[in-house]
């Protein structure tokens, strides 16, 4: 009998976090849970901490400390609150850490987890977009193992021919196209947060769902792929595939394309990362090709989805451009969710912010990344507040 592994889930109350707990719940031997973190959903966090007898439960919101403490009274689970406590939780010894906090807020905790040198199952793509080389350098320095959980990058990881690395020709990221795939630009201009959050295939957190509607999610994934697989920007292609069954593909010099497929269920990628390097049965539906009958592919429309063009510009610029891109995107997303700007204004705000902040220096220290992230948020916010961007707000 092998020793149970120690697992930590950062962002345990989110969409990826809950799917991760479902994989851990079924694992044999049952893992020990070092730490679980969340933010606003204190009841959900406390229930998970009780179920898994977590050693530590942390809410990122300091105002929720007493509530979490009361919810876990008498359980033996330690309780803490605040962003610093989340970083401390990530530092607790663990063999396997799921990094599933949403946004750049995940960067410091994920880095703290990496310092231990265990397995980092990475859902938080923003780490790679904002801090790319610095993040990978820290992973390498600590001897940690990075396993991509984003379904596309997990697919590429599975399809990579490691004995013929030099023959890798291109990476084909599939995109569902989101809920507005077939909408006109005029209709998109009037889209509400409720419409943008309703993803056709994947059940995800609100922010990544809206990022799928703008295709900012795919834009982040292009940058993520460039860093993870060390390819040139022009080797990263996007193909729209509405069924979300082909999770992504790798093309080789001889013209072969290797695809990884599965039903659209994040427990594929999470379970893969938990079981790696083994493959074990997972609680996911099997693909029924006869029922599927067909798979469709089409070129993305960069006119309606300018995020894809912006991602190419960010990859070409390199350095701190990724931190600015993600920071501006997060500020624009908040403004759209608050109905202060319209749907198409998100890309306009990001583009205008990048234009203001260019040229971008190389990222030498993490402090540079955090500073540019903050500067980009402030710049996007100023553009929105002054009305320079945001004439398309839908006031509901
Ligand atoms: P979610 O919104 O459902 O959950 C986010 C989690 O992060 C929650 O546990 C929340 O409490 C926590 N959190 C939010 N703000 C925080 C803060 N400031 N500090 C600390 N914790 C905070 O999001 P999700 O859909 O689970 O996505 C999580 C990450 O995984 C994102 O980076 C997303 O891009 C990535 N991802 C998600 C999916 C998916 O299917 N949901 C697929 C691929 C990648
Ligand atoms: Mg993805």
Q: Which atom of ligand 1 is nearest to the CA of 11?
A: 9
| 3-state SS, residue 30 | coil
Q: What is the pLDDT of residues 67-95, one digit of tens each?
A: 999 999 999 999 999 999 999 999 999 99
| Strands ordered across the beta sheet of 246-252 | 236-240, 168-175, 246-252, 257-261
* Ligand 1 atom with minimal separation from the 151 CA: 43
As a whole-number percent, the residues of the chain with pLDDT over 90 amount to 96
Query: What is the DSSP code string of 296-360?
Result: --B---TTT-THHHHHHHHHHH-TTHHHHHHHHHHHHHHHHHTTSS-TTHHHHHHHHHHHHH-S-
Q: pLDDT digits over 196-232, tens only?
A: 999 888 888 999 999 999 999 999 999 999 999 999 9
Largest CA-CA distance found in the chain, in angstroms, rounded: 63
Nearest CA to ligand 1 atom 4: 14
* Long-range Cβ contact pairs of 165-168 (< 8 A, separation 24 or more): 167/252, 167/253, 167/254, 168/229, 168/231, 168/235, 168/250, 168/251, 168/252, 168/253
Assess whether pLDDT exceeds 70 at residue 396. Answer: no
Q: Which one-letter DSSP state was computed for residue 392?
A: T
**From the CA of 50, how far away is ligand 2's center (Å)?**
30
pLDDT band of residue 16 (cuts 50, 70, 90) is very high
pLDDT tens digit string along 331-378? 999 999 999 999 999 999 999 999 999 999 999 999 999 999 999 999
Whether 109 is in the pocket of ligand 1, judged by its Cβ within 6 Å, is no
Instruction: Give the number of the atom of ligand 1 that is nearest the alpha carbon of residue 217.
Output: 34
Would you say the CB of residue 204 lies under 6 angstroms from ligand 1?
yes
CB of 333 closer than 6 angstroms to any ligand 1 atom = no
CA of 293 to the centre of ligand 1 (A): 33
Q: How many residues does the chain have?
A: 396
Nearest ligand by distance to the CA of 269 = 1
106 C-beta neighbours (distance < 10 Å), count: 24
- 238-257: pLDDT as tens digits: 999 999 999 999 999 999 99
Confidence of residue 1 (pLDDT cuts 50, 70, 90): low
Q: What is the pTM of this model?
A: 0.97
Distance from the CA of 163 to the center of ligand 2, in angstroms?
26
Contact 196, 213 (CB under 8 A): yes
């Amino acid at each position: 009998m092998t020793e149970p592994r120690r697992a930590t889930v950062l962002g345990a109350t989110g969409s990826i976090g809950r799917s991760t707990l479902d994989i851990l719940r079924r694992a044999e031997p049952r893992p020990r849970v070092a730490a679980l973190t969340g933010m606003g959903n204190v009841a959900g966090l406390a229930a998970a901490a009780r179920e898994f007898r977590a050693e530590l439960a942390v809410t990122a919101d300091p105002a929720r400390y007493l509530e979490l403490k009361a919810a876990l009274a008498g359980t033996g689970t330690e309780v803490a609150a605040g962003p610093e406590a989340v970083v401390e939780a990530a530092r607790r010894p663990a063999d396997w850490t799921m990094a599933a906090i949403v946004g750049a807020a995940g960067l410091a905790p994920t880095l703290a987890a990496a310092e231990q040198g265990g397995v980092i199952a990475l859902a938080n793509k923003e780490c790679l977009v904002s801090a790319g080389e610095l993040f990978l350098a820290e992973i390498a320095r600590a001897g940690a193992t990075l396993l991509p959980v984003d379904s596309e990058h997990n697919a590429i990881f599975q399809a990579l021919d490691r004995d013929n690395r030099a023959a890798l020709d291109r990476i084909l990221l599939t995109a569902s196209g989101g809920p507005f795939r077939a909408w006109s630009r005029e209709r998109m201009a009037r889209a509400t947060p409720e419409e943008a959050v309703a993803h056709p295939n994947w059940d995800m957190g609100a922010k990544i769902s809206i990022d799928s509607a703008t295709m900012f999610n795919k834009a982040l994934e292009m940058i993520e792929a460039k860093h993870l697989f060390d390819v040139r920007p022009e080797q990263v292609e996007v193909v729209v595939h509405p069924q979300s069954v082909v999770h992504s593909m790798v093309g080789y010099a001889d013209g072969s394309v290797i695809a990884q497929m599965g039903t659209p269920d994040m427990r594929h990628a999470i379970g893969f990362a938990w079981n790696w390097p083994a493959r074990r049965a997972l609680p996911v539906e099997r693909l029924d090709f006869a029922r599927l009958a067909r798979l469709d592919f089409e070129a993305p429309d960069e006119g309606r989805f300018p995020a894809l063009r912006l991602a190419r510009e960010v990859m070409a610029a390199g350095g701190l451009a990724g931190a600015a891109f993600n920071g501006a995107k997060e500020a624009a997303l908040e403004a759209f969710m608050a109905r202060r700007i319209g749907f198409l204004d998100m890309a306009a705000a990001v583009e205008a912010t990048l234009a203001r902040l260019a040229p971008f220096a190389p990222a030498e220290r993490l402090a540079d990344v955090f500073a540019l992230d903050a500067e980009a948020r402030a710049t996007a916010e100023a553009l929105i507040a002054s009305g320079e961007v945001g004439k398309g707000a839908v006031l509901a």
